[in-house]
Amino acid sequence: MKQAIVARTDVGMGQGKLAAQVAHASLSAYEDTPDRTRKEWKGGGQKKVVLKGESEQQLFELADKAEREGLPNAIVRDAGHTQLEPGTVTALAVGPGNEDAVDRVTGELSLF
């Protein structure tokens, strides 16, 4: 079991902003995960990886792939209070779910 969070590299987020957006994505996808999967993931150490995303389009394409795999996923849009324009897509979480299924969606991306 694992969760992958894809954060955009093309919008110029600072480290703190990046950390917050990754956390938002992780929690949002977790909230949409069935109870049995939640418990299994939590019991297994809540494995997560943060990966580099190139664009808004890429995140939406990955979200579509996650949907086809039956994986919980969440796109995060920034509120625009600090560094980014309101509505900027910053991150995507895929899973938690079966590691093989998550890898079919995000396995070709580089670690952040």
DSSP assignment of 88-99: -EEEEEEEEE-H
Question: For the whole model, what pTM was predicted?
Answer: 0.95
For 59, counting Cβ atoms within 10 Å of its Cβ (0-12 exposed, 13-18 middle, 19+ buried), the class is buried
Q: Can you read off the two tokens belonging to residue 79?
A: 């509120």
pLDDT band at 81 (very low <50, low <70, confident <90, very high): confident
pLDDT recorded at residue 82: 87
pLDDT per position as a tens digit, 20-50 = 999 999 999 999 999 999 999 999 999 999 9
Distance from C-alpha of 47 to C-alpha of 72, rounded to nearest angstrom: 15
Q: Which residues pair with 48 in a beta bridge?
A: 3
